Structure 1
Amino acid sequence: MIAQLKRNKFIGLLFAAIIVLSSILSGCSGTGPGGEKASSNEKTKDGKTVIEFWCSWGDSKKDYFEKWINKFNESQDKIVVKATYIAGDAWDQRITAAQAAGTGPDVMTMNYGKIAYSADQGKIKALDEYIDATKWDDLYDWSNKMVTVNGKHYAYPFNAEPGSILLYRKDFFKEAGLDPENPPKTWDELIEYGKKLSTDKHYGLTAAGTTDDLAWSHWGMQAMMGGLAINDDWSKATVNSEGNKKLFEFWNTLYKEKIFPKQMPGLYTEIEPLVDGRTAMMFNGSFVFDALRNKYADVVDNIGVAPLPTPDGDYKKTTATLGGWTFVVDGNSKHPKEAAQFIDYMLAGDPEVMVDFFNLSKFSSFTGRKSVDAALEDNEFAKNDEWRKMIQEKVLPYAIPEPIYAWDISMSYANALERVYLKGEDIDKSLAQAEKEINDYIKNNNYAGTNPNKK
């Protein structure tokens, strides 16, 4: 998700500039880039205020959203929600352009990584005065922190997805004489298992293979090893650390021992290499559960799920970052109270609204609300789902939010790692180069002290 958003950044900004210029030249206002009216004073024939909602899920969960939006509309006398569904590839361009032109929708979906910047720039409104305090108390600490900027709540959580877990083929474990109920817990065990599982038929392990995928999928492992690539106030590179040296050595060993293939098959987020038997183990995110259970149900019984191994086997270390989606109110909305009322209904009200979503998506993502988890315990499938239980107990409590610093910084880390395991460069030399690149970025972009979460 993050890699795709970053790749679309430049196109989105260019598109936004074109839209803004076009609006100025034509004197147009009050319509989005597709001609949609947004954040307007539009009324229906019977006098209801129209709340525009833009959803980044495209058509993938349209039936779910329409079901509950219709129920919300039926319950209202004075407002009505109109939804626009935008495919993921077009989302950044559309929403960036609309907000730049001041014509954003009243309510939109937003990933966690954009909340702090959007709040800092006034692009979204704080919700505390519109949503009752008890609704915020229902959030787990980790989800509460992800929507809070300088003491105020700017979004309500929709879902969360840990981006790094271990998936493996139980049948391949049995063939190799390994216990399928006892996946590797330490790095040494992962290397040992990887060697035994590497055959002429399948790889021992696959993980991130492209530079973009390395950049974001390693955030959790960096945190596990003591810290990310830059310090909290963004004034100094911290990539050249003893922890990262050990992580680079580990990754390099996986490659040198031929546990990894010479070239990874597909993108990090693709589950097919595990499904079709090209790999015995895989690092991936919980987001693949939906495809596994809906498209590849015939292999689900052969799939095991566990936390990423750690150097000493302690799963209580951070191994994953959390991405996912929220609902926010646009900073230019003329109806923030009504917009927040819709958010309250969909995300903070009756737990069954969100239980329905998690059922539909086969628990490929997780709730930030205590009451929704309590309701899921009354759901037979959810209650007995070992994958869900494992992630709730061994991953979510120790995960961290995806970092929001510049993509260039994550790419410096990824390039440094590639120089080591793909090109054979010395680890100290490669990390020193990454350190210099990041410090140069900080200096050239006046980056120190700009973290919106630390202002």
Structure 2
Amino acid sequence: MKHSFLTRVLGVGAVLAMVSSLAACGSGTPGEAAPSAGGSSSASGGSAAEPTTIQFWHRTFTPVENTWYEDIIDKFNAAQTEVKVVGTEIPADAWDQKMKAAQAAGTAPDIYTHPGSIQDAVNAGQLYELNKVVPMDALNEIIDAAKPVSEIDGTYYAYPLLLEAQAVLFWNKDMLTAAGLDAEKGPSTWQDLLDMCAKIKPTLKKGTYCILPAQDAVTFAWSSVGQQWNFNGHTALSDDWTKPDVETDGYKALINVYKTLWDKEYMPKQALAPYVEGSDFGQAKGAFKVSGSWMMSEIGSDYPDMLTKTGVGAMPNSPDANGRTATTLGNFKWVIDAKSKNPEAAGKFLSWALAGDPANLVPFFVNTQFTKVPVRTSVQEAVAADSAAANAPWADIVTNQIAPTAIPEPTYPWDVSLAVGTAMEAGMNGASSVDDALKTATAAIQTVIDRENLPSKVAK
């Protein structure tokens, strides 16, 4: 299972940069030419004997997600004769290399999964306009929270499969009870969390900690964006993208709460498991764990006894958050390549699988332990009506308490986020003072602004 969670990191960082270079269309085997589609350039031009063949690539996810992808392709192919979908599952850690090779050979897929912002890919002309091949009523079903990752100025370039909170606080109810704390109630502020850690630490055995948070630059870069917003009311750039905006009291306060966790040894000096995984929490090595909402899927599959012992809540707030969210919404979407020879056929598959009968999507959300948020109200209702939903109380917390106010991932370049993450790590562990860490981040961000001419690329 561990390899499947690498997609979270790769999707937000290196893969995001790679996706902005995709252009062509093609085969089901990376690097090989596409088979003939019977001479037809659209779904309507095919026949039962010679359907239009399209290629669909997706990353390796968890086993139950991979099974759903296989099944949805099989069901679509069995349901009609105009289009044949050939699916290819590519390991997350090989995605970058495979897609670059396919792009160079002119054999990139017609349709594929896409994480993060679409802004760079749209600016580069790499994504097909879904308005041309997906019914407008289907596009209108996308909930407001998912529109920022789906459309730009009214034109849709992606159809989301899911949203998922990138920073959720989980806690071990037994460990909180042992410290004399209310096991059903998580901390609402960072001061609450620090006070709880002061009570929990004396009860812990060696090798266990109060909290298992993010603690390296790359993970901070993408997982802390909501926290940056929570502490500041903005993220790393000015609204017009003309200058860095990180040398603020809010950024200093954010880094200092992590520094307190570090200095008081409430957290380990070295991560016991990657942020995106739950093995450390499943093995009761921490009273609290910060991870994405997807972690409950791993707990459900690998540590089922922990399901009823796990509390779930929003990240703690800064003292002056004034209702601002503390998490960011990650996502996975499907996109059609701008140079696909069969965009109409790809649109038929996308519309059927993601925008059609909610029953097609219910198994995905049920089998991933209700840890992800559907982007259509009709699908949310169908998932909530499933009999297993009664045994997943965290679903309501993620879907109705955390996700609705979470912010979209930033659309500025990854290097900006990485500069902030580097400052957070350095300030937390004392590699430099907090002030110096943020000064270094300012210089690094200014370099990106100048190099990329960011003011010309700010979303209007």
TM-score (norm 1): 0.89
Report the equivalent of 2:10: 4
User: Which amino acid is 2:309 matched to?
Assistant: N
Q: Which residue does the alignment assign to 2:345?
A: 338
Contact 1:32 1:98 in 2 (8 A): no
Q: What CA distance in whole angstroms lies between the structure 1 residues aligned with 2:52 and 2:277?
A: 42
Distance 1:414 1:162 in 2: 18
Equivalent pairs: percent with the same residue?
A: 31
- Distance in structure 2 (CA, Å) of the matches to 1:32 and 1:270: 30
How big is each residue's C-alpha offset from its partner over 1:120-163, in whole Å with a ceiling of 9 and x where there is no partner? Answer: 22211011122222112212101122101232000111111111
**Residue of structure 2 equivalent to 1:86:** 90
Residue deviations 1:243-294, cap 9 Å, x none? 1122122222222222122223222112111111211111111111111001
Alignment match, 1:324: 331
Matched, 1:377 2:380: no
What is the aligned partner in structure 1 of residue 132 from structure 2? 129
How far has the Cα of 1:59 moved from its partner?
A: 7.8
Q: For residues 348 and 131 of structure 1, do their structure 2 counterparts lie closer, same or farther at Cα, with a shift above 3 Å needed?
A: same
> Which residues of structure 1 form unaligned runs of 5+?
21-28
The answer as to 2:220 corresponding to 1:217 is no
Partner of 1:117: 120
Specify the alignment match of 1:392 in structure 2.
399
Structure 2 distance, partners of 1:292, 1:343, is 30
Are 2:59 and 2:89, in contact at CA under 8 Å, matched by a contact in 1? yes
Structure 1 residue 383: Cα displacement: 4.7
Is 2:194 the partner of 1:194?
Answer: no
- For residues 300-315 of structure 1, what are the structure 2 equivalents within 5 Å? 300-312=307-319
Matched, 1:162 2:165: yes
Which whole-Å CA distance do the structure 2 matches of 1:65 and 1:377 have between them? 21
| Native 8 Å contact 1:2 1:216 kept in 2 | no
Secondary structure at the counterpart of residue 370 of structure 2: coil
Residue 152 of structure 2 is matched in structure 1 by: 149
Are the structure 2 counterparts of residues 161 and 108 from structure 1 closer, same or farther at C-alpha, using a change threshold of 3 Å?
A: same
What is the count of residue pairs matched by the alignment? 441
**Deviation string, structure 1 residues 83-123 (Cα, Å, up to 9, x no partner):** 1111111112222332344322111111132x222222221
Please name the residue that 2:435 is paired with: 428
Q: What is the aligned counterpart of 1:104 among 102, 108, 114? A: 108
Alpha-carbon shift at residue 345 of structure 1 (Å): 0.5
Q: What SS does structure 1 have at the residue aligned with 2:361?
A: helix
The alpha carbon displacement at 1:6 in A equals 6.2
Q: Say whether the 8 Å CA contact 1:170–1:304 is kept in structure 2.
A: yes
Partner of 1:238, secondary structure, is coil
Which range moved further: 183-192 or 315-324? 315-324
Partner of 2:88, secondary structure, is: strand
SS of the aligned residue for 1:280 comes to: strand
Q: What's the secondary structure of 1:91's corresponding residue?
A: helix
Q: Tell me if structure 1 keeps the 8 A contact 2:12–2:115.
A: no
TM-score (normalised: structure 2): 0.88
- The CA deviation string for residues 415-437 of structure 1, in whole angstroms up to 9 with x for no partner, is 22223221263323322222122
Structure 2 gaps, min length 5: 1-6, 40-46
Counterpart residue type for residue 154 of structure 2? G
Aligned position for 1:26: none
CA contact (8 A) 1:305 1:387 kept: yes
Contact 1:210 1:267 in 2 (8 A): no
Using the alignment, how far apart are the partners of 1:419 and 1:249 within structure 2?
A: 11
Q: Say which of 282, 301, 306 aligns to 1:275.
A: 282
CA distance in structure 2 between the aligned counterparts of 1:106 and 1:116, rounded to whole angstroms: 19
Distance (whole Å) between structure 2 residues aligned to residue 316 and residue 38 of structure 1: 51
Select 1:34's aligned residue among 30, 33, 44.
Answer: 30
Q: Which 4+ stretches in 1 moved above 6 angstroms?
A: 10-13
CA contact 2:173–2:311 (8 Å) conserved in 1? yes
Residues 193, 369 of structure 1: alpha-carbon distance in 2 compared, 3 angstrom cutoff: same
More deviation in 285-294 or 52-61?
52-61
Query: What secondary structure sits across from 2:258 in the alignment?
Result: helix
